[in-house]
Amino acid sequence: MNIYGAQELEHADTTTLRLVHVIWRHGDRTPSILLPTDPTNGINSWPLGLGELTKKGIQQEFKLGKFLRKRYDGFLSQDYSPFEVYVRSSDYNRTLASGQAVLSGIFPIHGEELWVPIPVHTVPKPLDSLLYDRVLCPIADAERQMIYSSNPEILKISKKNENMLRFLAEKSGATKIPLPLREIWFIFDPLFAISCHNESHKLPDWVNSTVQKEIWRLYDISSNFMYHTDLLKRLRGGPLLKDILNRMQSRISGILDKRLKFYAFSGHDTSISALLNAFGVAINVFPHYSTALFVELHEIGNEFVVKLFYKSQTDSSFVEPLEIPGCEKSCTIEKLFALRKHVIPDDWEVECGLKHWYSFTSEFYLLIICFLSLLCAILVGCLLNTKMVHKRRRNAFELKSTPSGAHLLTGDDEDIDAGL
């Protein structure tokens, strides 16, 4: 990453800014998983439950909101407008609540003003390919499994750190010894949460400062392989990149309402990392709480250019401008589409192996059913009509007996046909 004049970038250039997308991580939370060998920090020690936003996390997100107000003040109106701001969250309590906390920082209550609730939108996890990294995608899952099980670099790192990984497996109660590098998260997550709440929780005795640093280091190394290939970038980060670029293109072409200025995503560390990787930007430290990525669309002269900025620290206003590979000077939207086309999925469901290219939508099947029902109705009608015609003809040609035994017809074909 290229960093220059970072402190001066606390304020955005609102004179040329036309649209900004912000992707932030939720604030401090309770652990998502517990160590079976650490009963002291068991479930009863976390009254909120697992994976929930804490008071500390609410404060962090509120502070992030105040930072966003300062950065985009003058670009954003003082009061919330549904035409100007839209926030989308993953379907987790902690991200939904984080979105509310950030918005409270951007649009604070003044004096005796009535609090105005601001909507935060979401979609169910099984349908969320933008922010939910574990949404079903068999092709991506197989690719990630292949990376962690057979990538030469991963194998080399695992071999080099075998003693530490064996130690961690034995102390944490892991079933696999030595601990696979991919599973370092199962140890890092509860220990990191404990370290963030050292006023009420204490790390296990076997986690001294040296061991802690090693766990943190191995976690960052392991996490950086999550989007190691173009296929993983395409299937995990590509949907969000595509969504953002399409919206910016709509703004340029005049399709998007010009009143929309701020489109935000309240997500996870994986949300930020996946998008950065889709842009071709690598980071050494996995995103911490309340970090944020800014994707800004600027109109400079006769060109629309995209600029990336990253707030990589929780309790700091330090902002880094990021260079997109191939776009070191001016990254126009056209150039960006061309550079990152290989990581933008055409049909995500097909590429994930969830459906075949020849699969049809539910609407298409409904149309087929309606067509077949109509066809059946027509056929039944034709059959009934044919039956009635035959019956009428039998009645019209009723034979009448004569004294000589001959039979007389009551009508002829032309009369019958004319009466149908």
In tens, the pLDDT along 247-274 reads 999 999 999 999 999 999 999 999 999 9
Residue 416 is predicted with a pLDDT of: 35
For the chain, give the longest Cα–Cα distance.
126
Residue 406's pLDDT band (cuts 50, 70, 90):
very low
**Tens digits of residue pLDDT in 168-214:** 999 999 999 999 999 999 999 999 999 999 999 999 999 999 999 99
CA distances, 412 to each of 253, 287, 386, 406 (Å) = 73, 92, 19, 17
Residue 328 is predicted with a pLDDT of: 78
pTM: 0.84
Mean pLDDT on 232-246: 98
Catalytic residue among 21, 26, 201, 268: 26
Q: Could you tell me if 190 and 34 are in contact, meaning their C-beta atoms sit under 8 angstroms apart? A: yes
Q: Compute how many other C-beta atoms are within 10 angstroms of the C-beta atom of residue 157.
A: 17
Residue 364 is predicted with a pLDDT of: 66
Bigger pLDDT: 112 or 127? 127
Bigger pLDDT: 28 or 11? 28
Mean pLDDT on 136-158: 98
The answer, yes or no, to whether residue 407 has pLDDT greater than 50, is: no
Residue 369's pLDDT band (cuts 50, 70, 90):
confident
What CATH fold (topology level) applies to the domain 6-151+225-352? Rossmann fold (3.40.50)
Residue 357 is predicted with a pLDDT of: 57
Catalytic residue among 73, 91, 141, 269: 269
Residue 254 is predicted with a pLDDT of: 96
**For the chain, which residues make up each domain, given as ranges?**
6-151+225-352, 362-418
The verdict on whether 407 is a catalytic residue reads: no
Residue 307's pLDDT band (cuts 50, 70, 90):
very high
Residue 408's pLDDT band (cuts 50, 70, 90):
very low
User: For residues 151, 157, 161 and 167, what is the CA-based torsion angle, rounded to 10 degrees?
Assistant: -40
DSSP string, 153-181: HHHHHHHHTHHHHHHHHHHHT-SSSSPPG
> 């044919």: which residue's tokens?
386
Q: Could you tell me if 304 and 297 are in contact, meaning their C-beta atoms sit under 8 angstroms apart? A: yes
Mean pLDDT on 304-331: 93
The verdict on whether 230 is a catalytic residue reads: no
Residue 5 is predicted with a pLDDT of: 43
Query: What rounded mean pLDDT belongs to the chain?
Result: 90
Residue 366's pLDDT band (cuts 50, 70, 90):
confident
Residue 411 is predicted with a pLDDT of: 42
**Helix H or strand E encompassing 135:** none
Category of 298 on φ-ψ map: left (φ > 0), alpha (ψ -120 to 50) or beta: beta
Residue 386's pLDDT band (cuts 50, 70, 90):
confident
In angstroms, the CA 155 to CA 278 distance is 25
Residue 398's pLDDT band (cuts 50, 70, 90):
low
Over the Cα atoms of the chain, what is R_g?
Answer: 32
